[in-house]
Structure 1
Amino acid sequence: MTVPVDRMSTALAPFVTTLDAYDLGPGSVGVHRGLPSSTVSITIPEEDSLEIAWVGRPGSRTRLRAVVAGLHLSAAELRQEGCTRGVWVTLSPLGASALLGLPAATLAGHIADLADVVPAMADLPERLAACRSWPQRRALVEHSLLTGLARHGARANDDELRATLAVLSGTTRVQEAAQLLGRSRRHLGSMVRAEFGVTPKEYQRLVRFEAARGRLVAAAGAGEVALAAVAAASGFADQAHFTREWRALTGCTPTEWLRAEGLTVQSMSAGDRPPGPS
Protein backbone atom coordinates (compact mmCIF):
# COMPACT_ATOMS: atom_id res chain seq x y z
CA MET A 1 0.00 0.00 0.00
CA THR A 2 1.64 3.20 -1.16
CA VAL A 3 1.02 6.23 1.03
CA PRO A 4 -0.35 9.12 -1.08
CA VAL A 5 1.55 12.38 -0.85
CA ASP A 6 -1.48 14.14 0.63
CA ARG A 7 -1.44 11.69 3.57
CA MET A 8 2.25 12.14 4.20
CA SER A 9 3.83 15.02 6.07
CA THR A 10 4.35 17.94 3.70
CA ALA A 11 7.89 18.26 4.98
CA LEU A 12 8.70 14.69 3.88
CA ALA A 13 7.05 14.85 0.46
CA PRO A 14 10.14 16.21 -1.40
CA PHE A 15 12.31 13.39 -0.06
CA VAL A 16 10.15 10.27 0.39
CA THR A 17 8.97 8.64 -2.84
CA THR A 18 7.21 5.60 -1.34
CA LEU A 19 6.24 4.31 2.09
CA ASP A 20 4.81 0.81 1.75
CA ALA A 21 3.81 -2.23 3.72
CA TYR A 22 5.11 -5.27 1.85
CA ASP A 23 4.48 -9.01 1.92
CA LEU A 24 6.77 -11.40 0.07
CA GLY A 25 3.98 -13.95 -0.15
CA PRO A 26 2.70 -17.07 1.61
CA GLY A 27 5.02 -19.78 2.90
CA SER A 28 7.84 -20.00 5.40
CA VAL A 29 10.31 -18.25 3.09
CA GLY A 30 9.62 -15.18 0.96
CA VAL A 31 11.94 -14.25 -1.88
CA HIS A 32 12.02 -10.97 -3.79
CA ARG A 33 14.32 -9.65 -6.49
CA GLY A 34 15.20 -6.02 -5.82
CA LEU A 35 15.77 -4.30 -9.14
CA PRO A 36 18.23 -1.51 -10.03
CA SER A 37 16.99 1.80 -8.70
CA SER A 38 17.59 5.55 -8.76
CA THR A 39 16.37 5.81 -5.18
CA VAL A 40 17.74 4.95 -1.74
CA SER A 41 15.70 2.17 -0.15
CA ILE A 42 15.14 1.05 3.44
CA THR A 43 13.66 -2.41 4.03
CA ILE A 44 12.59 -3.33 7.56
CA PRO A 45 11.18 -6.84 8.20
CA GLU A 46 8.51 -7.09 10.86
CA GLU A 47 10.39 -9.91 12.60
CA ASP A 48 13.85 -11.47 12.60
CA SER A 49 16.25 -10.39 9.85
CA LEU A 50 16.62 -10.27 6.08
CA GLU A 51 19.09 -12.23 3.96
CA ILE A 52 20.30 -10.30 0.94
CA ALA A 53 22.78 -10.94 -1.87
CA TRP A 54 23.70 -9.28 -5.15
CA VAL A 55 22.52 -11.43 -8.07
CA GLY A 56 25.49 -13.00 -9.85
CA ARG A 57 28.00 -12.14 -7.11
CA PRO A 58 29.02 -15.29 -5.20
CA GLY A 59 29.94 -14.61 -1.61
CA SER A 60 27.91 -11.40 -1.35
CA ARG A 61 25.15 -12.95 0.78
CA THR A 62 24.70 -11.31 4.19
CA ARG A 63 22.03 -11.15 6.89
CA LEU A 64 20.88 -7.79 8.21
CA ARG A 65 18.17 -6.73 10.64
CA ALA A 66 17.13 -3.85 8.38
CA VAL A 67 18.61 -3.01 4.99
CA VAL A 68 19.63 0.31 3.46
CA ALA A 69 20.54 0.22 -0.24
CA GLY A 70 21.86 3.11 -2.27
CA LEU A 71 21.43 3.82 -5.97
CA HIS A 72 22.51 0.67 -7.78
CA LEU A 73 22.73 -0.83 -11.27
CA SER A 74 22.57 -4.45 -10.10
CA ALA A 75 19.74 -6.66 -8.88
CA ALA A 76 19.65 -8.11 -5.38
CA GLU A 77 17.83 -11.15 -3.99
CA LEU A 78 16.07 -10.70 -0.66
CA ARG A 79 15.01 -13.72 1.41
CA GLN A 80 12.85 -13.46 4.52
CA GLU A 81 11.91 -16.50 6.64
CA GLY A 82 8.92 -16.97 8.90
CA CYS A 83 6.97 -13.72 8.84
CA THR A 84 7.40 -12.38 5.31
CA ARG A 85 5.99 -8.91 5.94
CA GLY A 86 7.65 -5.60 6.62
CA VAL A 87 7.96 -1.92 5.77
CA TRP A 88 9.65 -0.56 2.67
CA VAL A 89 10.67 3.08 2.19
CA THR A 90 12.31 4.71 -0.81
CA LEU A 91 13.95 8.11 -0.72
CA SER A 92 14.88 10.45 -3.52
CA PRO A 93 18.67 10.87 -3.90
CA LEU A 94 18.36 14.14 -1.97
CA GLY A 95 16.49 12.35 0.81
CA ALA A 96 19.60 10.46 1.88
CA SER A 97 21.28 13.65 3.02
CA ALA A 98 18.17 15.38 4.38
CA LEU A 99 16.76 12.42 6.32
CA LEU A 100 19.68 10.07 6.97
CA GLY A 101 22.47 12.60 7.25
CA LEU A 102 24.81 11.36 4.54
CA PRO A 103 25.00 11.94 0.77
CA ALA A 104 23.57 9.34 -1.58
CA ALA A 105 27.08 8.84 -3.02
CA THR A 106 28.16 7.21 0.25
CA LEU A 107 25.56 4.46 -0.21
CA ALA A 108 25.69 4.00 -4.00
CA GLY A 109 26.19 0.38 -5.02
CA HIS A 110 26.19 -0.80 -1.40
CA ILE A 111 23.88 -2.46 1.09
CA ALA A 112 24.24 -1.92 4.84
CA ASP A 113 22.39 -2.36 8.09
CA LEU A 114 20.18 0.57 9.07
CA ALA A 115 21.78 0.65 12.53
CA ASP A 116 25.23 1.18 10.98
CA VAL A 117 24.04 3.88 8.56
CA VAL A 118 21.82 5.78 11.02
CA PRO A 119 22.59 4.84 14.65
CA ALA A 120 19.67 6.99 15.80
CA MET A 121 17.33 4.55 13.98
CA ALA A 122 18.93 1.40 15.40
CA ASP A 123 15.86 0.56 17.50
CA LEU A 124 13.34 1.25 14.70
CA PRO A 125 12.89 -2.44 13.71
CA GLU A 126 12.01 -3.46 17.30
CA ARG A 127 9.67 -0.49 17.71
CA LEU A 128 7.93 -1.39 14.43
CA ALA A 129 7.56 -5.01 15.54
CA ALA A 130 5.71 -3.80 18.62
CA CYS A 131 3.13 -1.89 16.55
CA ARG A 132 -0.27 -3.56 16.12
CA SER A 133 -1.42 -1.98 12.85
CA TRP A 134 -0.17 -0.46 9.60
CA PRO A 135 -1.28 3.08 10.58
CA GLN A 136 0.84 2.80 13.72
CA ARG A 137 3.84 1.56 11.72
CA ARG A 138 3.42 4.32 9.15
CA ALA A 139 3.22 6.97 11.85
CA LEU A 140 6.33 5.60 13.56
CA VAL A 141 8.37 5.61 10.32
CA GLU A 142 7.21 9.12 9.47
CA HIS A 143 8.14 10.32 12.95
CA SER A 144 11.62 8.78 12.62
CA LEU A 145 12.15 10.42 9.24
CA LEU A 146 10.89 13.78 10.50
CA THR A 147 13.33 13.52 13.41
CA GLY A 148 16.11 12.95 10.89
CA LEU A 149 14.93 15.92 8.83
CA ALA A 150 14.98 18.15 11.90
CA ARG A 151 18.51 16.97 12.68
CA HIS A 152 19.98 17.26 9.16
CA GLY A 153 17.60 19.20 6.92
CA ALA A 154 17.80 20.33 3.34
CA ARG A 155 21.06 21.77 2.05
CA ALA A 156 21.64 25.10 0.34
CA ASN A 157 22.26 23.47 -3.05
CA ASP A 158 19.29 21.07 -2.96
CA ASP A 159 17.28 23.12 -5.48
CA GLU A 160 20.20 23.05 -7.92
CA LEU A 161 20.65 19.30 -7.48
CA ARG A 162 16.93 18.67 -7.85
CA ALA A 163 16.91 20.65 -11.11
CA THR A 164 19.92 18.68 -12.33
CA LEU A 165 18.19 15.35 -11.71
CA ALA A 166 15.02 16.60 -13.40
CA VAL A 167 16.94 17.58 -16.54
CA LEU A 168 18.83 14.27 -16.60
CA SER A 169 15.52 12.43 -16.23
CA GLY A 170 14.00 14.34 -19.13
CA THR A 171 16.84 13.80 -21.60
CA THR A 172 18.58 10.78 -23.11
CA ARG A 173 21.99 12.28 -23.82
CA VAL A 174 24.36 13.71 -21.22
CA GLN A 175 25.59 16.43 -23.58
CA GLU A 176 22.03 17.65 -24.09
CA ALA A 177 21.48 17.77 -20.32
CA ALA A 178 24.73 19.69 -19.81
CA GLN A 179 23.72 22.27 -22.41
CA LEU A 180 20.28 22.75 -20.88
CA LEU A 181 21.88 23.23 -17.46
CA GLY A 182 24.51 25.62 -18.79
CA ARG A 183 27.41 23.44 -17.62
CA SER A 184 30.21 21.57 -19.24
CA ARG A 185 29.79 17.82 -19.54
CA ARG A 186 32.86 17.35 -17.35
CA HIS A 187 31.52 19.60 -14.59
CA LEU A 188 28.13 17.90 -14.70
CA GLY A 189 29.75 14.49 -14.44
CA SER A 190 31.92 15.47 -11.49
CA MET A 191 29.01 16.97 -9.58
CA VAL A 192 26.62 14.06 -10.15
CA ARG A 193 29.23 11.45 -9.21
CA ALA A 194 30.22 13.36 -6.07
CA GLU A 195 26.62 13.77 -4.89
CA PHE A 196 24.94 10.54 -6.01
CA GLY A 197 27.71 8.02 -6.66
CA VAL A 198 26.75 7.33 -10.29
CA THR A 199 27.63 9.02 -13.56
CA PRO A 200 25.04 11.14 -15.39
CA LYS A 201 24.72 8.41 -18.03
CA GLU A 202 24.19 5.76 -15.38
CA TYR A 203 21.48 7.88 -13.77
CA GLN A 204 19.73 8.26 -17.13
CA ARG A 205 20.02 4.51 -17.61
CA LEU A 206 18.33 3.89 -14.26
CA VAL A 207 15.54 6.35 -15.02
CA ARG A 208 14.85 4.70 -18.39
CA PHE A 209 14.86 1.24 -16.80
CA GLU A 210 12.43 2.32 -14.08
CA ALA A 211 10.10 3.88 -16.66
CA ALA A 212 10.19 0.64 -18.66
CA ARG A 213 9.49 -1.40 -15.53
CA GLY A 214 6.46 0.77 -14.78
CA ARG A 215 5.10 0.30 -18.31
CA LEU A 216 5.74 -3.44 -18.12
CA VAL A 217 3.84 -3.79 -14.84
CA ALA A 218 0.98 -1.64 -16.17
CA ALA A 219 0.75 -3.78 -19.31
CA ALA A 220 0.74 -6.98 -17.25
CA GLY A 221 -1.96 -5.53 -15.01
CA ALA A 222 -4.07 -4.80 -18.08
CA GLY A 223 -3.63 -8.41 -19.23
CA GLU A 224 -1.58 -7.67 -22.33
CA VAL A 225 2.21 -7.56 -22.52
CA ALA A 226 3.59 -6.40 -25.87
CA LEU A 227 7.30 -6.13 -25.23
CA ALA A 228 7.93 -4.35 -28.53
CA ALA A 229 5.49 -1.60 -27.54
CA VAL A 230 7.02 -1.26 -24.05
CA ALA A 231 10.49 -1.09 -25.63
CA ALA A 232 9.48 1.61 -28.12
CA ALA A 233 7.70 3.72 -25.50
CA SER A 234 10.74 3.51 -23.24
CA GLY A 235 13.25 4.68 -25.83
CA PHE A 236 14.88 1.38 -26.77
CA ALA A 237 15.83 0.68 -30.37
CA ASP A 238 13.76 -2.51 -30.46
CA GLN A 239 12.52 -5.38 -28.35
CA ALA A 240 15.86 -7.21 -28.53
CA HIS A 241 17.66 -4.12 -27.20
CA PHE A 242 15.15 -3.83 -24.36
CA THR A 243 15.51 -7.50 -23.40
CA ARG A 244 19.33 -7.32 -23.47
CA GLU A 245 19.31 -4.24 -21.23
CA TRP A 246 16.82 -5.81 -18.84
CA ARG A 247 18.89 -8.98 -18.57
CA ALA A 248 22.10 -6.99 -18.08
CA LEU A 249 20.58 -5.06 -15.17
CA THR A 250 18.47 -7.78 -13.53
CA GLY A 251 19.93 -11.14 -14.53
CA CYS A 252 16.68 -12.33 -16.14
CA THR A 253 14.34 -11.47 -19.03
CA PRO A 254 11.31 -9.20 -18.57
CA THR A 255 8.96 -12.17 -18.87
CA GLU A 256 10.92 -14.23 -16.34
CA TRP A 257 10.72 -11.33 -13.92
CA LEU A 258 6.98 -10.92 -14.40
CA ARG A 259 6.42 -14.60 -13.69
CA ALA A 260 8.65 -14.50 -10.61
CA GLU A 261 6.60 -11.55 -9.32
CA GLY A 262 3.38 -13.49 -9.83
CA LEU A 263 2.12 -11.24 -12.64
CA THR A 264 0.14 -13.07 -15.30
CA VAL A 265 1.51 -12.79 -18.81
CA GLN A 266 -1.40 -13.02 -21.26
CA SER A 267 0.51 -12.07 -24.37
CA MET A 268 4.18 -12.10 -25.23
CA SER A 269 6.28 -12.46 -28.34
CA ALA A 270 7.51 -15.92 -29.29
CA GLY A 271 11.11 -14.78 -28.92
CA ASP A 272 10.64 -14.04 -25.23
CA ARG A 273 8.91 -17.31 -24.32
CA PRO A 274 11.10 -19.65 -22.28
CA PRO A 275 12.07 -22.94 -23.95
CA GLY A 276 10.02 -26.05 -23.30
CA PRO A 277 6.26 -26.76 -23.13
CA SER A 278 4.02 -23.74 -22.78
Structure 2
Amino acid sequence: MSEAVPAALRPYVAWLAAYDVVGPAGVHRGLPGTSLTFVLPIGAKLDVAWSGDPVSRRSAWSSVAGLHAAPAEIRHDGHQEGFFLALTTAGARALFGLPAAAIAGELLELDDLAPDLRHLPEQVHDESSWPARTAVLLRALTSALSARDASGARAEVGRALARLARGAAVAEVADDVGYSRRHLRNLVVAETGLSPKEYQRVARFETSREHVLAAARRGGTLAEVAAVCGYADQAHLAREWRDLAGCPPTTWLREEFPDVQAGGVFAG
Protein backbone atom coordinates (compact mmCIF):
# COMPACT_ATOMS: atom_id res chain seq x y z
CA MET A 1 0.00 0.00 0.00
CA SER A 2 1.41 3.37 -1.00
CA GLU A 3 1.74 6.06 1.63
CA ALA A 4 1.39 9.82 1.23
CA VAL A 5 4.74 11.62 1.28
CA PRO A 6 4.79 15.00 3.07
CA ALA A 7 5.51 18.00 0.86
CA ALA A 8 8.89 18.64 2.50
CA LEU A 9 10.08 15.14 1.51
CA ARG A 10 8.62 14.91 -2.00
CA PRO A 11 11.74 16.18 -3.81
CA TYR A 12 13.69 13.40 -2.12
CA VAL A 13 11.28 10.46 -1.69
CA ALA A 14 9.72 9.54 -5.03
CA TRP A 15 7.72 6.64 -3.62
CA LEU A 16 6.90 5.19 -0.21
CA ALA A 17 5.05 1.93 0.30
CA ALA A 18 4.31 -0.31 3.26
CA TYR A 19 4.24 -3.98 2.25
CA ASP A 20 3.00 -7.15 3.93
CA VAL A 21 3.10 -10.03 1.46
CA VAL A 22 2.58 -13.73 2.12
CA GLY A 23 3.34 -16.37 -0.50
CA PRO A 24 5.77 -19.11 -1.41
CA ALA A 25 9.36 -18.76 -0.27
CA GLY A 26 11.70 -17.67 -3.01
CA VAL A 27 13.79 -14.88 -4.49
CA HIS A 28 12.50 -11.42 -5.37
CA ARG A 29 14.27 -9.43 -8.09
CA GLY A 30 15.34 -5.89 -7.28
CA LEU A 31 15.48 -4.27 -10.71
CA PRO A 32 17.53 -1.28 -11.88
CA GLY A 33 15.89 2.13 -12.03
CA THR A 34 16.54 5.85 -11.73
CA SER A 35 15.85 5.88 -7.97
CA LEU A 36 17.89 4.60 -5.06
CA THR A 37 16.19 1.85 -3.07
CA PHE A 38 15.77 2.13 0.71
CA VAL A 39 14.15 -0.83 2.50
CA LEU A 40 13.27 -1.22 6.19
CA PRO A 41 12.15 -4.81 6.76
CA ILE A 42 9.96 -5.79 9.71
CA GLY A 43 9.89 -9.19 11.37
CA ALA A 44 13.01 -10.57 9.70
CA LYS A 45 16.22 -9.12 8.31
CA LEU A 46 16.48 -8.44 4.59
CA ASP A 47 18.65 -11.03 2.84
CA VAL A 48 19.95 -9.21 -0.24
CA ALA A 49 22.79 -9.50 -2.76
CA TRP A 50 23.63 -8.45 -6.28
CA SER A 51 22.67 -11.20 -8.69
CA GLY A 52 25.57 -13.56 -9.31
CA ASP A 53 27.75 -11.95 -6.63
CA PRO A 54 27.59 -14.00 -3.40
CA VAL A 55 30.28 -11.82 -1.83
CA SER A 56 27.85 -8.90 -1.77
CA ARG A 57 25.21 -10.85 0.17
CA ARG A 58 24.17 -9.37 3.49
CA SER A 59 21.41 -9.74 6.04
CA ALA A 60 20.36 -6.52 7.75
CA TRP A 61 17.53 -4.50 9.28
CA SER A 62 18.03 -1.77 6.70
CA SER A 63 19.22 -1.70 3.12
CA VAL A 64 20.11 1.18 0.80
CA ALA A 65 21.01 0.31 -2.79
CA GLY A 66 22.69 2.91 -4.97
CA LEU A 67 21.89 3.26 -8.64
CA HIS A 68 22.88 0.12 -10.50
CA ALA A 69 22.63 -1.55 -13.89
CA ALA A 70 22.19 -5.13 -12.65
CA PRO A 71 19.48 -6.90 -10.65
CA ALA A 72 19.56 -7.59 -6.94
CA GLU A 73 18.27 -10.78 -5.34
CA ILE A 74 16.21 -10.71 -2.14
CA ARG A 75 15.72 -14.12 -0.57
CA HIS A 76 12.70 -14.60 1.67
CA ASP A 77 10.79 -17.31 3.52
CA GLY A 78 7.43 -16.37 2.02
CA HIS A 79 6.50 -13.52 4.37
CA GLN A 80 7.81 -10.09 3.42
CA GLU A 81 6.92 -7.10 5.56
CA GLY A 82 8.31 -3.60 5.88
CA PHE A 83 8.74 -0.26 4.13
CA PHE A 84 10.04 0.37 0.62
CA LEU A 85 11.20 3.84 -0.39
CA ALA A 86 12.42 5.01 -3.78
CA LEU A 87 14.79 7.93 -3.24
CA THR A 88 15.63 10.49 -5.89
CA THR A 89 19.27 11.30 -6.56
CA ALA A 90 18.64 14.54 -4.66
CA GLY A 91 17.43 12.39 -1.76
CA ALA A 92 20.89 10.90 -1.32
CA ARG A 93 22.30 14.36 -0.64
CA ALA A 94 19.38 15.50 1.49
CA LEU A 95 19.00 12.41 3.68
CA PHE A 96 22.51 10.94 3.72
CA GLY A 97 24.66 13.99 3.00
CA LEU A 98 26.38 12.63 -0.11
CA PRO A 99 25.78 12.42 -3.86
CA ALA A 100 24.14 9.31 -5.26
CA ALA A 101 27.39 8.63 -7.13
CA ALA A 102 29.13 7.91 -3.82
CA ILE A 103 27.06 4.75 -3.32
CA ALA A 104 26.41 3.70 -6.94
CA GLY A 105 26.47 -0.09 -7.21
CA GLU A 106 26.63 -0.49 -3.42
CA LEU A 107 24.43 -2.31 -0.92
CA LEU A 108 24.67 -0.51 2.42
CA GLU A 109 22.98 -0.18 5.79
CA LEU A 110 21.93 2.94 7.69
CA ASP A 111 24.91 2.41 9.99
CA ASP A 112 27.15 2.87 6.95
CA LEU A 113 25.43 6.00 5.69
CA ALA A 114 23.61 7.87 8.43
CA PRO A 115 24.56 7.03 12.03
CA ASP A 116 21.87 9.39 13.28
CA LEU A 117 19.27 7.10 11.64
CA ARG A 118 20.76 3.83 12.88
CA HIS A 119 18.01 3.41 15.52
CA LEU A 120 15.21 3.85 12.97
CA PRO A 121 14.68 0.10 12.36
CA GLU A 122 14.08 -0.64 16.03
CA GLN A 123 11.93 2.48 16.42
CA VAL A 124 9.72 1.23 13.60
CA HIS A 125 9.66 -2.26 15.14
CA ASP A 126 8.49 -0.87 18.46
CA GLU A 127 5.21 0.25 16.89
CA SER A 128 2.42 -2.27 16.32
CA SER A 129 0.31 -0.46 13.73
CA TRP A 130 1.15 0.71 10.21
CA PRO A 131 0.00 4.31 10.83
CA ALA A 132 2.26 4.56 13.87
CA ARG A 133 5.19 2.98 12.02
CA THR A 134 4.70 5.37 9.11
CA ALA A 135 4.62 8.34 11.46
CA VAL A 136 7.90 7.26 13.08
CA LEU A 137 9.54 6.81 9.67
CA LEU A 138 8.41 10.16 8.27
CA ARG A 139 9.36 11.98 11.46
CA ALA A 140 12.88 10.52 11.35
CA LEU A 141 13.38 11.40 7.67
CA THR A 142 12.11 14.94 8.20
CA SER A 143 14.51 15.38 11.11
CA ALA A 144 17.40 14.05 9.01
CA LEU A 145 16.47 16.48 6.26
CA SER A 146 16.55 19.46 8.60
CA ALA A 147 19.91 18.36 10.03
CA ARG A 148 21.67 18.36 6.67
CA ASP A 149 22.35 20.74 3.81
CA ALA A 150 19.62 19.84 1.31
CA SER A 151 21.22 21.82 -1.50
CA GLY A 152 21.39 19.60 -4.53
CA ALA A 153 23.32 19.41 -7.73
CA ARG A 154 23.24 22.25 -10.21
CA ALA A 155 19.78 22.88 -11.62
CA GLU A 156 20.99 22.14 -15.12
CA VAL A 157 22.13 18.66 -14.04
CA GLY A 158 18.66 17.90 -12.73
CA ARG A 159 17.18 19.16 -15.98
CA ALA A 160 19.62 17.03 -17.96
CA LEU A 161 18.71 13.90 -15.98
CA ALA A 162 15.01 14.52 -16.56
CA ARG A 163 15.53 14.90 -20.31
CA LEU A 164 17.79 11.86 -20.51
CA ALA A 165 15.14 9.82 -18.71
CA ARG A 166 12.61 10.90 -21.32
CA GLY A 167 14.86 9.62 -24.10
CA ALA A 168 16.44 12.80 -25.46
CA ALA A 169 19.75 12.32 -27.28
CA VAL A 170 22.85 13.06 -25.21
CA ALA A 171 24.09 15.66 -27.70
CA GLU A 172 20.70 17.39 -27.63
CA VAL A 173 20.69 17.46 -23.84
CA ALA A 174 24.23 18.85 -23.74
CA ASP A 175 23.20 21.67 -26.09
CA ASP A 176 20.10 22.38 -24.02
CA VAL A 177 22.04 22.88 -20.77
CA GLY A 178 24.94 24.67 -22.48
CA TYR A 179 27.71 22.13 -21.86
CA SER A 180 29.96 20.04 -24.04
CA ARG A 181 29.11 16.36 -24.14
CA ARG A 182 32.27 15.59 -22.15
CA HIS A 183 31.43 18.12 -19.44
CA LEU A 184 27.86 16.88 -19.23
CA ARG A 185 29.11 13.31 -18.91
CA ASN A 186 31.44 14.30 -16.07
CA LEU A 187 28.64 16.08 -14.20
CA VAL A 188 26.16 13.22 -14.62
CA VAL A 189 28.73 10.64 -13.48
CA ALA A 190 29.63 12.80 -10.47
CA GLU A 191 25.97 13.06 -9.49
CA THR A 192 24.66 9.55 -10.21
CA GLY A 193 27.64 7.23 -10.70
CA LEU A 194 26.31 6.36 -14.17
CA SER A 195 27.26 7.85 -17.52
CA PRO A 196 24.51 9.65 -19.46
CA LYS A 197 24.12 6.64 -21.74
CA GLU A 198 23.94 4.24 -18.79
CA TYR A 199 21.43 6.45 -16.99
CA GLN A 200 19.33 6.67 -20.15
CA ARG A 201 19.49 2.92 -20.61
CA VAL A 202 18.28 2.27 -17.07
CA ALA A 203 15.54 4.89 -17.44
CA ARG A 204 14.25 3.28 -20.64
CA PHE A 205 14.26 -0.14 -18.98
CA GLU A 206 12.37 1.30 -16.01
CA THR A 207 9.73 2.70 -18.37
CA SER A 208 9.51 -0.61 -20.21
CA ARG A 209 8.53 -2.38 -16.98
CA GLU A 210 5.39 -0.26 -16.71
CA HIS A 211 4.53 -0.89 -20.36
CA VAL A 212 5.18 -4.64 -20.09
CA LEU A 213 2.71 -4.92 -17.22
CA ALA A 214 0.13 -2.72 -18.94
CA ALA A 215 0.44 -4.67 -22.20
CA ALA A 216 0.04 -8.00 -20.41
CA ARG A 217 -3.11 -6.77 -18.72
CA ARG A 218 -4.72 -5.60 -21.95
CA GLY A 219 -3.47 -8.47 -24.12
CA GLY A 220 -0.83 -6.46 -25.96
CA THR A 221 2.49 -7.66 -27.38
CA LEU A 222 6.15 -7.25 -26.55
CA ALA A 223 6.70 -5.89 -30.04
CA GLU A 224 4.33 -3.04 -29.17
CA VAL A 225 6.21 -2.39 -25.93
CA ALA A 226 9.53 -2.29 -27.79
CA ALA A 227 8.19 0.28 -30.25
CA VAL A 228 6.65 2.53 -27.60
CA CYS A 229 9.79 2.48 -25.42
CA GLY A 230 12.24 3.21 -28.24
CA TYR A 231 13.89 -0.19 -28.66
CA ALA A 232 14.95 -1.20 -32.17
CA ASP A 233 12.73 -4.28 -32.05
CA GLN A 234 11.46 -7.00 -29.72
CA ALA A 235 14.83 -8.78 -29.80
CA HIS A 236 16.53 -5.60 -28.57
CA LEU A 237 14.00 -5.34 -25.73
CA ALA A 238 14.62 -8.98 -24.80
CA ARG A 239 18.41 -8.47 -24.71
CA GLU A 240 18.08 -5.46 -22.44
CA TRP A 241 15.83 -7.39 -20.08
CA ARG A 242 18.30 -10.28 -19.91
CA ASP A 243 21.13 -7.85 -19.11
CA LEU A 244 19.30 -5.59 -16.64
CA ALA A 245 16.71 -7.90 -15.07
CA GLY A 246 18.42 -11.25 -15.52
CA CYS A 247 15.28 -12.71 -17.10
CA PRO A 248 12.78 -12.17 -19.94
CA PRO A 249 9.72 -9.95 -19.34
CA THR A 250 7.46 -13.01 -19.24
CA THR A 251 9.47 -14.54 -16.38
CA TRP A 252 9.29 -11.27 -14.42
CA LEU A 253 5.53 -11.14 -14.90
CA ARG A 254 5.11 -14.74 -13.80
CA GLU A 255 7.16 -14.11 -10.66
CA GLU A 256 5.76 -10.73 -9.65
CA PHE A 257 2.22 -10.75 -11.09
CA PRO A 258 1.11 -14.39 -11.42
CA ASP A 259 -2.54 -13.42 -11.72
CA VAL A 260 -1.79 -11.30 -14.80
CA GLN A 261 -0.07 -14.20 -16.54
CA ALA A 262 -2.69 -16.77 -15.55
CA GLY A 263 -4.41 -16.52 -18.91
CA GLY A 264 -1.31 -17.11 -20.99
CA VAL A 265 1.68 -15.23 -22.33
CA PHE A 266 2.08 -12.35 -24.77
CA ALA A 267 0.82 -12.85 -28.27
CA GLY A 268 3.00 -11.78 -31.18
TM-score, with length taken from structure 1: 0.89
Counterpart of 1:143 (choices 139, 145, 150) is 139
Gaps of 5+ in 1: 271-278
Aligned to 2:251: 256
Q: Decide which moves more: 12-21 or 48-57.
A: 48-57
Picking from 187, 197, 200, the partner of 1:201 is 197
Q: CA offsets, 1:87-107, max 9 Å, x none?
A: 111111111001121110111
Query: Deviation string for 1:23-77 (max 9, x for gaps)?
Result: 34325x4531100121111111112311111112243322222110011101011
Given that 1:25 and 1:84 are in contact with CA atoms closer than 8 Å, whether structure 2 keeps it comes out as yes
CA contact (8 A) 2:47 2:58 kept: yes
Aligned residue number for residue 38 of structure 1: 34
State the 4+ residue runs in structure 1 displaced beyond 4 angstroms: none
Partner SS state of residue 22, structure 1:
strand
Alignment-derived partner of residue 159 in structure 2: 163
Unaligned residue ranges in structure 2 (runs of 5+): none
What amino acid does structure 2 have at the position aligned with 1:260?
E
> Does the residue aligned with 1:38 lie in a helix, a strand or coil?
coil
Q: Which letter does structure 2 place at the counterpart of 1:248?
A: D
Q: Show the counterpart of 2:15.
A: 18
The answer to whether the aligner puts 1:78 opposite 2:40 as a matched pair is: no
Note if contact 1:40-1:69 (Cα within 8 Å) is conserved in structure 2. yes
Contact preservation (8 Å) 2:5, 2:16: no
| Preserved contact between residue 64 and residue 110 of structure 2 (Cα < 8 Å) | yes
Instruction: Work out the CA distance in 1 between the residues paired with 2:174 and 2:57.
Output: 39
Equivalents in 2 of 1:168, 1:26: separation in Å?
37
- The equivalent of 1:96 in structure 2 is 92
Could you tell me how far apart the structure 2 residues matched to 1:119 and 1:249 are? Answer: 32
- Match of 1:18, SS state, is strand
Q: Which amino acid aligns with 1:2?
A: S
Inter-partner Cα distance in structure 2 for 1:161 and 1:110: 22
CA deviation digits over 1:123-181, x for unaligned, max 9? Answer: 11111112222222221111111111101142164533321211222334211211111
CA deviation after TM superposition for structure 1 residue 250, in Å: 1.2
Partner of 1:48: 44
Q: For 1:81 and 1:268, how far apart are their aligned partners in 2?
A: 30
Q: Is the 1:94–1:158 Cα contact (8 Å) retained in structure 2?
A: no
Identify if the C-alpha distance between structure 1 residues 157 and 106 changes in structure 2 by more than 3 Å, giving closer, same or farther: closer
> Residue 84 of structure 1: SS of its match in structure 2?
strand
Taking the aligned partners of 1:166 and 1:78, their CA distance within structure 2 comes to 29
1:173 has 2:169 as partner: yes
Aligned-partner Cα distance in 2 for 1:227–1:145: 40
- In the alignment, the residues of structure 2 paired with residue 42 and residue 85 of structure 1 have an alpha-carbon distance, to the nearest angstrom, of 14
Shift of 1:110: 0.7
Aligned AA (1:123): H
CA, structure 1 residues 261+225, in 2 after alignment: closer, same or farther (shift >3 Å)? farther
**Is the contact made by 1:30 and 1:84 (CA closer than 8 Å) also made in structure 2?**
no
Matches of 1:90 and 1:158, distance apart in 2: 21
Q: How many residues align?
A: 265
8 Å CA contact 2:64–2:109 kept in 1: the answer is yes
Contact 2:26 2:76 in 1 (8 A): yes
TM score, norm. by length of structure 2: 0.92
The alpha-carbon distance between structure 1 residues 232 and 156, as it changes in their structure 2 partners (threshold 3 A), is closer
Give the structure 2 partner of residue 182 of structure 1. 178
In 2, the alpha carbon distance for the partners of 1:225 and 1:121 equals: 45
**1:59 is the counterpart of 2:35:** no
Query: Is the Cα contact below 8 Å between 1:55 and 1:76 reproduced in 2?
Result: yes
Counterpart residue number, 1:268: 266
Aligned equivalents of 2:86, 2:7: Cα separation in 1: 16
2:242 to 238, 247, 251: 247
> What is the root-mean-square deviation of aligned Cα atoms in Å?
1.8
Deviates more, 1:58-67 or 1:47-56: 58-67
Structure 2 vs 1, CA of residues 268 and 83 (structure 1 numbering), >3 Å: closer, same or farther? closer
